[in-house]
């Protein structure tokens, strides 16, 4: 049975703005705030060895999300899915041609309706990011 557990990254994502990458390297640009009236803080969540990535809106995860057991100690929206169906499917598909023991399945969600699952070898890194003025203007963040 799949189970959500904490990972080393503890952050509450308000909105995922952009996913970019290829060739096993992906970056997720995201924003968070201390409270509803504060200015957003921007970050990049960087993965260097992605073997699979699945994006969906929250509605595309409802049935599975309800069935996930939780063993989570904090309010982070970056978690690991133990016994991940996505990892099991990937392992079947590669038919022994690729080592899958070191792969973790990361669950990344925001407060709107974005869900991303990332199969990655190695841990992601979280770095602060300074958005361009265009990114600030086109952000899906609600400002007060």
pLDDT tens across 100-128, in order? 999 999 999 998 889 999 999 999 999 99
Report residue 2 as tokens.
């799949």
| 144, pLDDT greater than 60 | no
β-strand partners of 78: 108
Q: How many residues does the chain have?
A: 144
């Amino acid at each position: 049975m799949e189970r959500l557990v904490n990972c080393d990254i503890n952050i509450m994502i308000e909105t995922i703005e952009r996913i970019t990458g290829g060739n096993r390297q992906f970056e997720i640009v995201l924003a968070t705030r201390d409270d509803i009236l504060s200015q957003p803080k921007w970050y990049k969540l960087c993965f260097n060895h992605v073997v699979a990535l699945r994006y969906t809106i929250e509605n595309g995860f409802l049935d599975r999300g309800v069935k996930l057991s939780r063993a989570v100690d904090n309010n982070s929206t970056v978690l690991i899915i133990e016994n991940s169906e996505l990892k099991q499917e990937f392992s079947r598909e590669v038919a022994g041609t690729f080592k899958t023991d070191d792969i973790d399945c990361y669950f990344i969600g925001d407060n709107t309706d974005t869900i991303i699952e990332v199969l990655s070898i190695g841990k992601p890194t979280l770095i602060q990011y300074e958005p361009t003025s265009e990114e600030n203007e086109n952000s899906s963040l609600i400002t007060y």
